[in-house]
């Protein structure tokens, strides 16, 4: 499984995650967990609806999410942030 970070994801990561070392470590751990088992219940992976239909999301913390799309062996990371930031 390969990961591609979109420009929006990179910008959101830099703005919302990068300067919080603890959160940065949690993101790394959850991405590794996701790559090993996307169905892990800890990730709370689910399909999105409405304007984000066709995308999926998994949890980093209680409020931080990663929005992504799976295309064959490629996982495209679209956005990262709080529930309100990524689902607006």
Q: Which CATH architecture has domain 2-86?
A: 2-Layer Sandwich (3.30)
Which tokens is 9 given? 């994801």
Q: Where are the domains of the chain?
A: 2-86
- pLDDT attached to residue 14: 96
pLDDT tens digits, 36-88: 999 999 999 999 999 999 999 999 999 999 999 999 889 999 999 999 999 98
Tokens 């990068």: give the residue: 18
Burial class (CB in 10 A: 0-12, 13-18, 19+), 57: buried
Tell me the whole-structure pTM to 2 decimals: 0.94
């Amino acid at each position: 499984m390969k990961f591609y970070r979109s420009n929006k994801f990179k910008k959101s990561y830099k703005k919302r995650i990068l300067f919080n070392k603890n959160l940065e470590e949690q993101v790394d751990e959850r991405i590794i967990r996701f790559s090993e088992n996307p169905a892990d219940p800890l990730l709370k992976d689910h399909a999105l609806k409405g304007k984000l239909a066709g995308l999926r999301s998994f949890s980093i913390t209680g409020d931080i999410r990663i929005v992504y799309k799976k295309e064959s062996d490629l996982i495209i990371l679209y956005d990262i942030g709080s529930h309100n930031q990524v689902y607006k």
